[in-house]
Amino acid sequence: MKSILLFTLTLMLAFNLKAIPNEDLKANFVIGTPEISSIKAISFGPENILFIGDNTGMTLIAVDVKDKKRSSAKNLNMENLNSKLANAMGADKKDIKIQDMAVNPLSKNVFFAVSKQSGKKTYYSLFRLGEEGLKEYSLQEVSYSKMRIGNAPTEKHQTWNRPSRTYTVTDLHYANGELIISGLSNEEFSSGLRRVPFPFKDEMLTTSVQVYHVSHGKNETHAPIHRFLPVQLEKQWHVVAGYMCTPLVTFKLDQLDGNKKLIGKTVAEIGAGNTPTGIIAYTYKGQDFVLVGNNRHPLAKITGKDLFNAKAIKAPSRDRGVKRENVNLGSIAHISDFDENQILIVLRNKSKDAYHLKTVAKSEI
Amino acid sequence: MTWIYLLFIFFQPFSKSEGFFAKFDADQEAIIIIGLGDLNQEHIPQKVAVYFGETIEKDQPQVIGHYSKKGSDIYFIAKYGFTEGKNYTVVFKKNSTAKDSEIIKDRIVVHIPFTQREPSTFVKQVFPTTDQIPMNQLKFYIEFSAPMRYGNAYEYIKLYRLPEKILEPEAFLASTDELWDPSRQRLTIFFDPGRIKRGVQPNLQLGLPLVEGRKYQLVIDQTWLDINGVQMTGTFEKNFEVIAVDRTSPDPDHWSIDIPKCNTSKPISIDFKESMDYGLLHSTLTIKKQSGEFIEGEIELKALESQWFFYPEKPWGKGKYQIIINSWLEDLAGNNLSRKFDVDLSDPADKPKNIEEILIPFEINTQSDF
C-alpha cells in the first residue's frame, strides 16, 4: 500500500482537487480522432461528455457526443442485444463482449462499449441506442480531450526482461468536478482509487483503499474495488465501493486525499462467488436509494439514509450489515439509472449466451 | 446444411444472383461486388447492404463497413474485420425505400474461408513452478508460447482434487476482467481470495479452496484457442501438494546475497529461502549505483523462484551500489515485505511495517580473478 502511496507522490504535483465552478468543461477539447487501443469502461459526465477508460493505451478520453435528447422510451427493451451488436460488427455473439453500458443523462441515449476478437485483432467499438435504433457511434472527427494515466511502477523503476505489469480500469465515474477511477493489477490483488480533476490537467491523486476491516475490526485484509459509485449521502459526497469477494464499503470522498491508507466502513457482504456488476443511485418519491447489481446474487436495494447511518459490520454475514432488500431480477451484467421512473439493466440468461436489455420500473424494485 | 457448404465450394469464388456477383478477396480483405457498376458511389449505401450470416433476422443490423467503387466493382471492407469460417449475405435492394427487414429482392451468400493453421501454441509454464503450494496460495501465472484469445479463460482452467480427480468448483476468482500481460501471453489467475481470508463470508461458507496435505491437479485444456483461433498442441497439467498456510511476511534478515567481483559480468543474486511471486520478482527489484544511475541487465530465476539472479549488461565497475526492493514484493501467499495478506490487529507481530522499500547496499571492490 505504501508503495502505491509512493507511486502517488511521484505522480502528484501539488494541486487543488476542488472543482472550479462555471469552468468551461470543454475548453481544452480538440476536434479529431482520438487514438484508442481499447475501451474497457465508459461513463457519462455533464454536458454530453462521455468518459472512456482505455486500458491498453493507459489513457482517459472525454468525448463530447453532441447527443439530441430522445423524446420517447423507444427501443429500450431489446432481446438478444449481444447478437445484434455482434452482427453489426460482423461476428457471432460468442466473439464479442459487452464491456460496459452508460446512459447519457441529458439525452437518455444508451451507449455500449463492445469488443470483438477476430484473428489476431481485437476491435473495440461504441454503439449508441437512440430512438432511431442501435447504431455505431464513430469516434472519427469528434470533439475530445485526453489524459494519460500511466503506470507508475514501470515509470519509477526500471523493468527488466519484459513489461508485464498491467493496470486494468474496472470502473470510472465523474462527480463534482473530477473523474474517479478504480482498477486491478495483474500482479497484486490490490488497487487504489484514482482521482483526476476534469477538465484534464495531467494531475492525478491516488489513495490506497484496498484494505478493509472484517470481524470486529480485528482483521484487516486487502482486495481491489471492482465497481463503485460516488454518491451524495445526506448531502455529503461518499464513495460506495463493491470489492471483489465481496464486501460493500463506504468512504467519504474527501478522505481520498492521496496521503494515507484509507480503511473504509464495511457495511455489508454480498455473498460468496459473486461479482458486483454495477452500483447506481437515484431519488424516487423523495427518498434516496443505492442499488448494487450482482451477477450471482439478487440486486441489493439500500436507502441512502440507511447506508449513511450503517454501522461497520461486526461479523461477516449476508443477512446482517446494512438494512437492504434483495430484488431478484436475474443475473445482472450491466446496470444504469435511466430516468425518473425507470432503471436499465442488461440481463444475462442462464446459459450465459444471451444478453437482453430491459427497463425496470422503480416502482417495482 | 452440408449441401449448402458444398454449393459454396462449387460456386466460389463467384456467387451469382440475377445479374450481380459477390466474392471474398482474402488479399484485399474485402467482399467484391460485381455487376452493379451502374450504381453511383453515393447511392451504394442505400442500395447495397451486407449482413452477418445466411439468414437475416428481423431488425438485424447491417455489418458496419465502408463501400467504395473501383472501376465497375464495389468493394466492401468490414470495419471490424470479417470472421473466418462464417457466411455473409450481400443484399441488393431494388427498391431503395424498402426497409431492411422487408422482403429483399436479391441476395448472395459469401463464405469467408478458414485459413488452415496447425496448432502450435502451448502452455510454457505455470508459476510458481514448485509442487509444494501453501494452503493460502494467492495466484498462478500461466505463460503461453503465443498470444491467446481472451474472454472465456475460466472455461479452460480446472482444479481437481487427487487422486479421485474431483473437480473443485469456484476455486478461482472468475472475475469479469481477465488479467493478461500486454502481449497476452501471460494470464494471472487468483484463487478466490475471499476463501483465503480469515473471517470473511466466502471463507466461512466454502472454506479454503486448498486443504493442507491434499494433492491437486491444475488442468489447462487444449481446446483453449490462441489468437489465431486455433487450439493448443496439448493439455497442460500441473500436479502439486498443499502444505501449511503461510502467514508470515518475507524477512530480509534471512536472505543471503552473493556479490560478484569487479570487472566481471557475473550475476548478483539473492536467495530468498522461499519461493517468491514470479511476476513481482520481475517488477519490484532494481539496482542503482551510488551516483543514482540504474544498472541495465537481465533477470533469471532459479530454485523454484526462490533465487533471483541479475546479470548486468556491462561488467561490474568498482563502487557502491544498492538493490532497491519495493515492499510490495510478495511470497506465494500474498504476504509482502510490509504487511501480511490479512492482518490480525490484535496480534502485535502482525502490525504492518509501513515501509515503502528495502535497500540492500553492496560494494564491488575486489579485483577480478580473471
Instruction: Spell out the domain ranges in chain B.
Output: 2-111, 123-243, 252-364
When pLDDT is cut at 50, 70 and 90, the band that residue A286 belongs to is: very high
Nearest CA in chain B to A166: B181
Most distant CA pair in chain A: distance in Å?
59
A119 CB neighbours in chain B (<8 A) are 81, 84, 227-229
Percent pLDDT > 70 in chain A is 82
Q: Does residue B132 register a pLDDT over 60? A: yes
When pLDDT is cut at 50, 70 and 90, the band that residue A11 belongs to is: very low
Average pLDDT over residues A199-222: 70
Q: Do A220 and B343 touch (CB under 8 A)?
A: yes
The torsion angles phi and psi of B4, rounded to 5 degrees, stand at -65, -45
Nearest CA in chain B to A88: B63
Of B80, B88, B279, the CB nearest to A123: B80
Q: Is A262 contained in some domain?
A: yes
Q: Does residue B11 register a pLDDT over 50? A: no
Nearest by Cα to B185 from A163, A154, A55: A163
**In chain B, positions 217-236, which contact chain A (CB-CB < 8 Å)?**
227-229
CB atoms within 10 A of CB A203: 17
The torsion angles phi and psi of A342, rounded to 5 degrees, stand at -135, 150
Nearest CA in chain A to B189: A186
- Would you give the DSSP letter of residue A4? H
Report the distance separating Cα A359 and Cα B330, nearest Å.
45
**B279 part of contact set with chain A, CB < 8 Å:** yes
pLDDT at residue A327 in the model: 96
3-state secondary structure A52-87: EEECCCCEEEEEECCCCCCCCCCCCCECCHHHHHHH
Fold topology of B252-364:
Immunoglobulin-like (2.60.40)
**In chain A, positions 162-191, which contact chain B (CB-CB < 8 Å)?**
162-166, 168, 170, 184-190
Q: Does residue A15 register a pLDDT over 80? A: no
Please state the pTM of the whole predicted model.
Answer: 0.86
Average pLDDT over residues A296-314: 91
Q: What is the pLDDT of residues B164-188, one digit of tens each?
A: 999 988 888 876 678 888 888 999 9
- One-letter amino acid at A161 equals N
When pLDDT is cut at 50, 70 and 90, the band that residue B10 belongs to is: very low
Q: Is A254 contained in some domain?
A: yes
Average pLDDT, chain A: 84
Strand-pair category, B132-134 with B236-243? parallel
pLDDT at residue A274 in the model: 78
Nearest CA in chain A to B326: A3
Cα Rg, chain A, nearest whole Å: 20
Average pLDDT over residues A148-157: 53
Range of the domain at A320: 209-328
A95 CB neighbours in chain B (<8 A) are 83
Of B177, B198, B229, the CB nearest to A219: B198
Q: Are A142 and A26 in contact (CB under 8 A)?
A: no
**A329 part of contact set with chain B, CB < 8 Å:** no
**A6 part of contact set with chain B, CB < 8 Å:** yes
Average pLDDT over residues B42-51: 92
Q: Are A144 and A64 in contact (CB under 8 A)?
A: yes
**In chain B, positions 77-136, which contact chain A (CB-CB < 8 Å)?**
78-84, 86, 88
Higher pLDDT, B346 or A142: A142
What is the complex's ipTM, to 2 decimals? 0.84
Q: Does residue B66 register a pLDDT over 70? A: yes
A273 CB neighbours in chain B (<8 A) are 170, 192, 202, 206
CA A55 to chain CA mean position, Å: 13
Side-chain-side CA neighbours of A71 within 13 Å: the count stands at 0
Strand-pair category, A276-284 with B123-127? unpaired
Domains contained in chain A, number: 1
Contacts 24+ apart (CB under 8 A), B39-43: B39/B69, B39/B74, B41/B67, B41/B68, B41/B69, B43/B96
pLDDT at residue A243 in the model: 83
pLDDT at residue A151 in the model: 52
- Sheet containing A276-284: give its strands across: A276-284, A287-294, A299-303, A325-327
**B330 part of contact set with chain A, CB < 8 Å:** yes
A223 CB neighbours in chain B (<8 A) are 193-194
**B67 part of contact set with chain A, CB < 8 Å:** no
Higher pLDDT, A35 or A214: A35
Q: Is A36 contained in some domain?
A: no
Nearest CA in chain B to A161: B298
A1 CB neighbours in chain B (<8 A) are 338-339, 352
Nearest by Cα to A177 from A339, A15, A360: A15
Q: Do A121 and B138 touch (CB under 8 A)?
A: no
**In chain A, positions 81-110, which contact chain B (CB-CB < 8 Å)?**
83-84, 86-92, 95, 97
Higher pLDDT, A312 or B300: B300
Nearest CA in chain B to A260: B354
Average pLDDT over residues B121-131: 98
Give one DSSP letter per residue of B24-82, joined into a string: EETTTTEEEEES-TTS-GGGHHHHEEEEESSS--TTPPPPPEEEEEETTEEEEEETT-P
**A19 part of contact set with chain B, CB < 8 Å:** no
| Residue appearing with cell numbers 439493466 | A345
Q: What is the pLDDT of residues A126-139, one digit of tens each?
A: 999 999 899 999 99
Q: Do B182 and A275 touch (CB under 8 A)?
A: no
Nearest CA in chain B to A153: B283
Q: What is the pLDDT of residues B245-257, one digit of tens each?
A: 998 999 999 999 9
Nearest by Cα to A243 from B253, B30, B175: B175
CB contacts < 8 Å between A and B, how many?
241
**B158 part of contact set with chain A, CB < 8 Å:** no
**A217 part of contact set with chain B, CB < 8 Å:** yes
Q: Do B151 and A117 touch (CB under 8 A)?
A: yes
When pLDDT is cut at 50, 70 and 90, the band that residue B113 belongs to is: very high
Q: Does residue B150 register a pLDDT over 70? A: yes
Of B173, B190, B356, the CB nearest to A3: B356
Residue A127: all three cell numbers together = 454503439
Q: What is the pLDDT of residues B204-246, one digit of tens each?
A: 666 678 899 999 999 999 999 998 889 999 999 999 999 999 9
B358 CB neighbours in chain A (<8 A) are none
pLDDT at residue A189 in the model: 77
pLDDT at residue A29 in the model: 96
Domain B123-243 has CATH 3.40.30.10: no
- One-letter amino acid at A281 equals A
Residue A144: all three cell numbers together = 475530445
Q: Angle CA(A319)–CA(A321)–CA(A327) in degrees, nearest 5?
A: 55
Instruction: Determine the straight-line distance between the first and last CA of chain A, rounded to whole angstroms.
Output: 39
Q: Does residue A156 register a pLDDT over 50? A: no
When pLDDT is cut at 50, 70 and 90, the band that residue B105 belongs to is: low
Give one DSSP letter per residue of A190-250, joined into a string: --EEEEEESS--S--EEEE--EEEEHHHHEEEE--EEEEEEEEETTEEEEEEEETTSEEEE
**A269 part of contact set with chain B, CB < 8 Å:** yes
Higher pLDDT, B148 or A269: B148
pLDDT at residue A164 in the model: 74
